[in-house]
Amino acid sequence: MTITVKAPFDGRTIDEVATAESADVDAAVARARTMLLSVRGGDFPAWKRAEVLDLAARTLKERVEDFARTIALESAKPIRTARVEAQRAVSTLTYSAVEARTLAGHMVPMEGSEAGAGKLAFTLRSPIGVVGAISPFNFPLNLVAHKVGPAIAAGAPVVLKPASSTPLSALALASLLAECGLPEGFLTVTVGAGSVVGDALANHDDIAMITFTGSPDVGWGIRARAPRKKVGLELGNNAPVIIEPDGDWQRAARLIKTAGFSHAGQSCISTQRILVHESIAKEFTTALEAEVRSLVVGDPLDEATEVSALITTAERDRVCDWISEAVRDGATLVTGGQIDGTLLRPTVLADVADDMKVSYLEVFGPVVVISTYRDFDTAVARANDTRYGLQASVFTTRLDRAMHAIHGLDFGGVLVNEVPTYRADQMPYGGLRDSGNTHEGPAYAVREMTHERLAVIQL
């Protein structure tokens, strides 16, 4: 059987991709198990893994345009933004190569106790086993690289299930890695429904770890079904930004133009909730409205386009319904909210209450919401009043307020004078509560994909 991959922008067919069944997952895991034994036997040592990753990074850098076009076609990500994703994947593979070369354990100070006298002890990092990786549609290349790159560095073979709507970037990356010397069986891409391929990965006894990026309901469901596996989850968010009257709110408006609407808001750290001090709310809202109205909406392959279609028309209609519900309940539509063919115009809502869906849930669409506050402590408390906890930010020139936010905002990452949408691929990236339970970034993911083995030698 096959899946028809269609362009979200205009519905045209891009490709037909063969789908996997549970038996195909079994075969892929069996090949991965054989490769794992080879790695543990020294046949694919760290320096060779690093060379594969380095060559893959260089080759991908030469093919950024090809990969960007694939990303733009299958996900409707504007081509300029798709190029950024492809370039970020180069960085992800490069940092993974660094980890392959430097991953090590540590010495244990045995002489520190009488029981340890005369003994030498140290730890080693050993691959955790076969990794089942499940990646989302919104970053169909770089979020695959964030799973596969560290796994290669760790020596942990991978069976990957990309999003069924955007499998082409993952397949292209797997082909590139094979071209660059990744042994057959180390990475297998299995395209198919979550109820088939995803469940087969979660339930397979020979998979030691699941790494999942996607919705909280699906992620925690996998975690509940696989209690004996290590399950790393990168999930959702409704990223807040607090804008103080002394902060550079004009710059904040310029940054939110991109941070709230890049890839039609389909990012787990897309800026969503804007808490702005009441003394500057009118000026800020006017500035943000002008910025958002200037966004170019259209064909993702057009160089001028900044915002294109959501992944499906069903998602477009859901977001539109949430906007309409908020307006009915008292929110003010500042700009946007209209459907234009397959597109939803970038939307700004003001006077938004914290109990509206567009505020307390993750919109995952081209929508930002504005509410005002008078007291900074109240703003921090409202930002924290969420089931999510990935990244948050504050704009202020006051060091005491910045430190208050760093200590007081209960999120995996807190940014000062930057939007919560900022991410560099080498930094630790992960959240709390319904935003997940692990950290990505090659230096952190590689440790999740290995276990520490203790060695003790009697001298």
List residues with catalytic annotation: 234, 268
Burial, 107: exposed, middle or buried (Cβ in 10 Å; 0-12, 13-18, 19+)?
exposed
Helix, strand or coil, per DSSP, at residue 161: strand
CA dist., res. 411 & res. 398, Å (int): 20
Phi, psi for residue 78 in degrees, rounded to 5: -55, 140
For residue 364, report the phi and psi dihedrals to the nearest 5 degrees.
55, 45
Distance, CA of 162 to CA of 136 (rounded, Å): 6
Q: Which DSSP symbol is given to 265? A: G
Give CA angle at 446 (240, 448), nearest 5°: 70
378 contacts 343 by C-beta, under 8 angstroms: no
Residue 128 CA to residue 213 CA, distance in Å, equals 19
Type of residue at 45? P
Between CA 108 and CA 130 the distance in angstroms is 28
- CB 27 within 8 Å of CB 190: no
**What angle do the packed helices 46-62 and 64-75 form, to 10 degrees?**
80
* Whole-angstrom distance, CA of residue 71 vs CA of residue 15: 13
Name 340's bridge partners: 343
401 CB neighbour count, 10 Å cutoff = 20
